[in-house]
Structures are given as structure tokens and as C-alpha cells.
């Protein structure tokens, strides 16, 4: 028998009365995905659509579905405050975006849950580069304020069979070319002149709700050289060009492999504000199983050591590894019990934050083209408890929000990939 909204959602409201309903609902949508009626998809045209700028995030090969990048939830029977949720397309989801009484809504098993808005497009979105690519597709503005620049679109771990087992970065490129043609991504890296042209337009936008406020720069792992440069040299060319064009008024977050102490000051002097050495998962054994390339080339112990050293150069809250929330329960490698997984990850939060390293979370989606395609959704209990553990540790150390991931609190947060930022008692 299908669960009603009250059966499902309110069960967790009662179980976790200290957790904002926004965080609970957001995590459930992230783990189960959302489907769209034809009327809701038709309404999405003219708004910001998914560009699949890094990972698929969907539960299947859904790139032919032109869905919005994010959803803005508010109101409804639970009086939700403004909540931004990344769109994970899933035809099997009990969550559905529909049009009712000429308004966009989201339902659970057909029951009205909240009002919906789609993210607007900035005026610069429709400007085009010489090859015809639209600015907004070249560097998407996600979560309202984050300019997401992927400098190198594939990962060289894949060529050696050492890719992170939950990651679909290379498979995502293949899917883009399948659905939209090779011209949709003629080369794996971005042109620097085009990048700074687009960033300048994003920075000059006058509407504060559409102006870039933070730039996240990421790339697939470069093991050797690309265009005659190692990964640090390759990515810093973009950083320096952006700083030359728009100055230092907004932070730049560089997501890159964990770097040696000798490279940290060079990276900072180029204009990087914050480093994300993405550890992915705290447990050593699970890290080794899920991230074989990172384990072979750097290793868990050295990765953590480099994270702590980065705080000395970049400061607290500016060394922030990503934790893929839920992947520590991926079978057959992960924990089988929620309590075990929470204990391990909480220990990681405590150890890292004690040393000034503040992780950020992204809720795991088992993606197509990975070994976990079709893996059952991670327990909602786990996701709520890990968000709570992150928030309580963050509050304990009285830190500022993590650079690049916006404010924390229900109705204030804009990072769309986790409910942890929607926490607040």
C-alpha cells in the first residue's frame, strides 16, 4: 500500500522534532529523486535547465529530459521556508512536480506537499560565444549564486580503472554526447578566453539574485600533463585569468587532488580562497575500496595530513573536503547499520573540525554508469542523522559557513546538494 504524506514525512517529523522539516523533506527528495508531469516540464522552458555540468545525479540515463536545474520549495501544509533542492530525475519517485490550478506544485503520492518555483535565467545566459555556445551553458550558475566552472571534463583515473566507484564523471560525458551530439562537448577542457568572458558577464550582472557570488573550479584528475601542464599549473591558469579580469571581490574555491605543502602557497598566491581536497568518505577501508586511485596515488593518511596543513595557509573553513553522504553505506563495501556509519562519520567530523578543516556534504545518488547503478536509496534516517551530526559539530566549534557553500539555516541556505545546510534549531 502506498504511504500517504502524513505516514511518510510526519513519521520523521515526530522522530526528529529538533530537525527542521525543510532538511528532512530535502534529503528525501535528494535520495529518491523527483519526476515531472508533461505540463511541469513544459513550464520549465525559459528557466534554468539541467546542464549536467559535472555528474548526472539522476537515477537513470535521463539526459533527454529537459528538467530544471533546481527546485525552490515553499509553503504547503508544513509552511516550508524557502528551500533549494537539486533535481535528481527519477521516474520511480513518489515525488512529482505538477501543475495544479495553474500553479507549480510538488506532491508526494499525489498529495500536495509544497509550492514550487523554477530558477530564473540571468540576462547574460543567452549571450553566445563565437562557437554559438550560450554563456549559461558554458558556466552554469547553480544554487542561485555559485558559478560552477569545470575546467577539465573527464578524469584520468578512469583510463587506469582506478576511478572512484560511485562517480560517473566520464560516463556523464558519454551520455551528453549521445543525447546532444559530439558538438555539445567538442573537447574535454574549456578555453580560458571564453571562461573569463563568461565570468565577467556573470560578475557584472546587476540583479543580486542572479549575480555570481562565488566561483567553484573543479576538474577530473590529471595524473600526468594536460597541454604541457600538471594539474596545479593547468587549473591556476584559469584562476589567474579570472582574477586579472574581475579582481578579488568574490571567493574562488578550487576543487583538486590533495596537494603537498610546497604547492599550497603557490595556489593561494594565484588567487584561490579555499581548497576542497575531496576525501569522499572517512573510514580508511571504505576509502580504499571506493577511491582506489586516490588511495594508490596519495593514500588516506597523507590526504588527511595535507588537509590539515592546508588550514595553516588558507585558514579555518577554507580547507573543506567533500563527504559523499551515504556512500559509506554502499554495499558490499560499506557499513550495514546506520549506527555504525554515523559513528564513523561523526568521528571524522570531530577530528577534522578540531583541526580547522570543515567538511561539506553532498547527498549520494547512485548514478548510471557506475558500479552502484540501481543500488537502493540510502536510509533517510542515516541522512537526517549525518546532517544533525555535521551541524552539531560545526556549532560546537563556532565556525563560519564553509567558503563557497553559502549560509546555514532553514530559509537561508542556498546550497542545493545536502540538507545539512538547512539545519538550525
For 311-359, the pLDDT digits (tens) are 999 999 999 999 999 999 999 999 999 999 999 999 999 999 999 999 9
Average pLDDT over residues 76-84: 97
Q: Does residue 325 lie in a domain region? A: no
Alpha helices in 355-404 (DSSP H): 380-396
Average pLDDT over residues 239-259: 97
Residue with cell 523527483: 34
DSSP state of 322: E
Q: What would the pLDDT profile of 298-307 be if each residue is shown by its tens digit?
A: 999 999 999 9
Instruction: Give, for 312, the enclosing helix (H) or strand (E).
Output: helix 300-314
pLDDT band for position 61 (cuts 50, 70, 90): confident
Do 348 and 291 form a contact (C-beta atoms < 8 A)? no
Task: Tell whether the model's pLDDT for residue 17 goes beyond 70.
Answer: yes
Letter string b/e over residues 140-177, b meaning 16 or more CB atoms within 10 A of that residue's CB = bbbbbbbbbbbbbbbbbbbeeebbbebbbbbbbbebbe
Among the ranges given (35-39, 225-229, 381-385, 390-394), the one the predictor scored with the smallest mean pLDDT: 225-229
- Parallel/antiparallel/unpaired status of strands 141-142 and 146-152: antiparallel
Q: Does residue 218 lie in a domain region? A: no
Q: What would the pLDDT profile of 175-228 be if each residue is shown by its tens digit?
A: 777 766 666 665 788 999 999 999 999 999 999 989 999 999 999 999 988 989
Do 234 and 151 form a contact (C-beta atoms < 8 A)? yes
Q: Does residue 260 lie in a domain region? A: no
Please indicate whether residue 241 or residue 60 has the higher confidence score (pLDDT). Answer: 241
Distances (CA, A) of 167 to 59, 215, 333, 364, 372: 13, 22, 15, 10, 9
User: How many domains does the chain contain in total?
Assistant: 1
Q: Beta-carbon neighbour count of residue 282 at 10 Å?
A: 22
Do 83 and 20 form a contact (C-beta atoms < 8 A)? no
Q: What pLDDT score was predicted for residue 326?
A: 97
pLDDT band for position 6 (cuts 50, 70, 90): low
Q: Does residue 206 lie in a domain region? A: no
Do 195 and 149 form a contact (C-beta atoms < 8 A)? yes
Report the chain's mean pLDDT, rounded to a whole number: 93
Average pLDDT over residues 64-87: 94
**What percentage of the chain reaches a pLDDT higher than 90?**
84
Q: Does residue 213 lie in a domain region? A: no
Average pLDDT over residues 266-277: 98
Q: What pLDDT score was predicted for residue 1?
A: 32
Task: Tell whether the model's pLDDT for residue 68 goes beyond 70.
Answer: yes
Task: Tell whether the model's pLDDT for residue 151 goes beyond 90.
Answer: yes
Q: What pLDDT score was predicted for residue 64?
A: 66
Do 95 and 106 form a contact (C-beta atoms < 8 A)? yes
Rounded CA-CA distance 1/401 in Å is 42
Q: What pLDDT score was predicted for residue 168?
A: 87
DSSP 221-282: --SS-BTTB-HHHHHHHHHHHHHHHHTTSS-EEEE-S---HHHHHHHHHTT--EEE---B-S
Q: Does residue 13 lie in a domain region? A: yes
Rounded CA-CA distance 181/159 in Å is 22
Q: Which residues lie across from 253 on neighbouring strands?
A: 216, 274
Upper half-sphere CA count for residue 228 (Cβ side, 13 Å): 0
Quote the domain boundaries for residue 37: 5-117
Distances (CA, A) of 329 to 216, 341, 372: 28, 7, 11
Q: Does residue 310 lie in a domain region? A: no
Q: Does residue 65 lie in a domain region? A: yes
Q: What pLDDT score was predicted for residue 65?
A: 77
Do 180 and 202 form a contact (C-beta atoms < 8 A)? no
Rounded CA-CA distance 56/168 in Å is 7
**What percentage of the chain reaches a pLDDT higher than 70?**
96
Q: What pLDDT score was predicted for residue 170?
A: 79
Do 258 and 305 form a contact (C-beta atoms < 8 A)? no
Rounded CA-CA distance 109/380 in Å is 17
pLDDT band for position 126 (cuts 50, 70, 90): very high
DSSP state of 80: E
Rounded CA-CA distance 50/67 in Å is 6
Amino acid at each position: 500500500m502506498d504511504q500517504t504524506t502524513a505516514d511518510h514525512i510526519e513519521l520523521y517529523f515526530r522522530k526528529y522534532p529538533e530537525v527542521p522539516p525543510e532538511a528532512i523533506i530535502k534529503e528525501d527528495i535528494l535520495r529518491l529523486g523527483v519526476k515531472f508531469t508533461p505540463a511541469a516540464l513544459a513550464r520549465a522552458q525559459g528557466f534554468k535547465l539541467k546542464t549536467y555540468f559535472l555528474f548526472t545525479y539522476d537515477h537513470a540515463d535521463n539526459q533527454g529530459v529537459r528538467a530544471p536545474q533546481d527546485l525552490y520549495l515553499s509553503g504547503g501544509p508544513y509552511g516550508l521556508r524557502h528551500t533549494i533542492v537539486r533535481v535528481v530525475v527519477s521516474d520511480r519517485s513518489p515525488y512529482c512536480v505538477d501543475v495544479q490550478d495553474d500553479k507549480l506544485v510538488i506532491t508526494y503520492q499525489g498529495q500536495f506537499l509544497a509550492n514550487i518555483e523554477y530558477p530564473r535565467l540571468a540576462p547574460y545566459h543567452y549571450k553566445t560565444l563565437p562557437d554559438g555556445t550560450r554563456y549559461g551553458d558554458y558556466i552554469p550558475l547553480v544554487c542561485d549564486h555559485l558559478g560552477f566552472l569545470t575546467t577539465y571534463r573527464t578524469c584520468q583515473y578512469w583510463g587506469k580503472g582506478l576511478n572512484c566507484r560511485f562517480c560517473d564523471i566520464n560516463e556523464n560525458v558519454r551520455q551528453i554526447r549521445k543525447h546532444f551530439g559530439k558538438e555539445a562537448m567538442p573537447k574535454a577542457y574549456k578555453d580560458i578566453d571564453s571562461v573569463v568572458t563568461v565570468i565577467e558577464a556573470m560578475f557584472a550582472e546587476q540583479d543580486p539574485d542572479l549575480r555570481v557570488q562565488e566561483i567553484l573550479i573543479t576538474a577530473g584528475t590529471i595524473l600526468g600533463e594536460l597541454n604541457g601542464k600538471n594539474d596545479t599549473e593547468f587549473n591556476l591558469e584559469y584562476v589567474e585569468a579570472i582574477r586579472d579580469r574581475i579582481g578579488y571581490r568574490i571567493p574562488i574555491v578550487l576543487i583538486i587532488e590533495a596537494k603537498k605543502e610546497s604547492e599550497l602557497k603557490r595556489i593561494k598566491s594565484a588567487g584561490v580562497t579555499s581548497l576542497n581536497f575531496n576525501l569522499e568518505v572517512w573510514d580508511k577501508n571504505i576509502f580504499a575500496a571506493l577511491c582506489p586511485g586516490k588511495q594508490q596515488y596519495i593514500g588516506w593518511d597523507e590526504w588527511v595530513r595535507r588537509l590539515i596543513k592546508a588550514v595553516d595557509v588558507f585558514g579555518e573553513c577554507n580547507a573543506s573536503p567533500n563527504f559523499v553522504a551515504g556512500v559509506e553505506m554502499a554495499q558490499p563495501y560499506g557499513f550495514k547499520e546506520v549506527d555504525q556509519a554515523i559513528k564513523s562519520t561523526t568521528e571524522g567530523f570531530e577530528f577534522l573540525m578540531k583541526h580547522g578543516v570543515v567538511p561539506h556534504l553532498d547527498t549520494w545518488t547512485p548514478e548510471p554508469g557506475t558500479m552502484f547503478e540501481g543500488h537502493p536509496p540510502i536510509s533517510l534516517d542515516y541522512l537526517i542523522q549525518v546532517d544533525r551530526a555535521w551541524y552539531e559539530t560545526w556549532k560546537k566549534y563556532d565556525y563560519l559557513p564553509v567558503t563557497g557553500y553559502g549560509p546555514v539555516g532553514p530559509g537561508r541556505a542556498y546550497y542545493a546538494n545536502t540538507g545539512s545546510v538547512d539545519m538550525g534549531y
